[in-house]
């Protein structure tokens, strides 16, 4: 039986394993030019798509759409690269989207550990990258996320500089692991007993979503997230009542756009009138990949330490399994 602290602690080993899988992947070239990309997947399997769309925003010359539904957008056709990610291979929403994309003659690539997705891909001669299975999907972020980088690289959509960023991430996290854990524990103690509100630059929204999801699943807590500048146009007005039961966490990067940094400082000034619980977590690294993976690792540890403080099992997700079992009674 896996333990969440062991899985989080093995993050750099998982990155190394993901690199090995990606290096060995052999993918067919598209028959038609790629004019748009659809990344389809949910939960711990799908969050990598959101994060990679943030990271590669300045590199990709074609639009990327994130799909978290049973159905795919009408634009999908033979000029669309569709990447379907399902860790278990049995996510019904992803299978539904995959089958529709197949009918549209899209260029399909799957990332999975097995299940129906692998079976469908094998039957229809669809490329798939098989990753290690048997673990909670949210604890295998690196395995699936890094395959997306390799896919984009093999499709000639990005250069291979990401490999250096991954190597730098491994080196940093391994050298700073104890420091990161101690820091995460202190932040968890501050967030304990509160409802966290997570804010970030819009370019790091995927990382903020990941943090929210980890708090939901690992820590068994409600929380919410928003991004700047968008929240300055709506949610900021909602800060009107004193509530020290809310903790605010800003995920920050030294290279955030200067106007965004000005907005963050102003936003902090407003919020401090209503709660004293305001914390900032800064990334480390020279690239968006390094900074994102650093923040993800810190926040994963925070979610684990919150689970300990809440005296809950970080692995357990019985309510999600109950829903899946209920839906399985009447499959698609």
Q: Are 98 and 89 in contact (CB under 8 A)?
A: no
Active site residue 78: no
How distant, in Å, are the alpha carbons of 53, 72, 87, 88, 161 from that of 91?
Answer: 21, 15, 8, 7, 32
Residue 172 CA neighbour count, 13 Å, CB half: 21
Tokens for 236, please give them.
Answer: 């900021």
Those residues whose C-beta lies under 8 Å from the C-beta of residue 9, and which sit 6 or more positions away, are 177
Kindly state the DSSP code that residue 52 receives in the 8-state scheme.
Answer: H
Query: How far apart, in whole angstroms, are the C-alpha atoms of residue 298 and residue 187?
Result: 10
Q: Which of 233, 258, 318, 326 is catalytic?
A: 233
Query: How far apart, in whole angstroms, are the C-alpha atoms of residue 213 and residue 208?
Result: 9
Query: How far apart, in whole angstroms, are the C-alpha atoms of residue 1 and residue 15?
Result: 21
3-state SS, residue 207: helix
Query: How far apart, in whole angstroms, are the C-alpha atoms of residue 72 and residue 187?
Result: 39
Angle between helices 141-154 and 11-24 (to 10 degrees): 30
Active site residue 217: yes
Q: Which of 93, 205, 217, 290 is catalytic?
A: 217
As beta bridge partners, residue 109 has 83, 127
Tokens for 146, please give them.
Answer: 């890094």
Query: How far apart, in whole angstroms, are the C-alpha atoms of residue 302 and residue 196?
Result: 12
Residues classed as catalytic? 217, 233, 324
């Amino acid at each position: 039986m896996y333990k969440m602290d062991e899985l989080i602690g093995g993050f750099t080993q998982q990155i190394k394993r993901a690199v090995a899988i990606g290096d060995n992947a052999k993918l067919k070239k598209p028959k038609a030019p790629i004019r748009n990309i659809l990344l389809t997947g949910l939960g711990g399997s799908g969050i990598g798509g959101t994060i990679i769309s943030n990271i590669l925003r300045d590199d990709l010359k074609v639009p990327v759409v994130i799909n978290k539904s049973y159905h795919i957008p009408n634009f999908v056709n033979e000029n669309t690269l569709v990447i379907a990610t399902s860790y278990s291979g049995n996510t019904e929403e992803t299978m539904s989207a995959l089958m529709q994309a197949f009918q549209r003659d899209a260029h399909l690539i799957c990332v999975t550990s097995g299940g129906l997705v692998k079976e469908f891909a094998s039957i229809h001669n669809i490329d798939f990258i098989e990753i290690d299975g048997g673990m909670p999907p949210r604890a295998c972020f690196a395995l699936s996320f890094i395959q997306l980088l390799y896919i984009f690289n093999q499709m000639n959509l990005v250069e291979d500089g990401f490999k250096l960023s991954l190597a730098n991430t491994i080196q940093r996290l391994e050298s700073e692991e104890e420091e990161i854990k101690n820091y995460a524990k202190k932040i968890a103690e501050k967030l304990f007993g509160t409802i966290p509100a997570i804010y970030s630059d819009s370019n790091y929204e995927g990382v903020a979503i990941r943090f929210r999801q980890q708090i939901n699943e690992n820590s068994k807590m409600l929380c919410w997230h928003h991004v700047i500048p968008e929240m300055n146009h709506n949610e900021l007005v909602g800060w009107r009542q004193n509530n020290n039961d809310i903790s605010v966490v800003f995920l920050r990067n030294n290279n955030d756009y200067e106007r965004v940094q000005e907005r963050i400082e102003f936003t902090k000034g407003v919020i401090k009138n209503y709660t004293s619980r305001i914390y900032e977590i800064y990334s480390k690294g020279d690239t968006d990949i390094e900074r994102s993976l650093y923040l993800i690792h810190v926040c994963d540890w925070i979610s684990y330490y919150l689970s300990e403080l809440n005296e809950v099992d970080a692995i357990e997700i019985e309510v999600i399994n109950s829903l899946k079992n209920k839906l399985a009674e009447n499959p698609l």
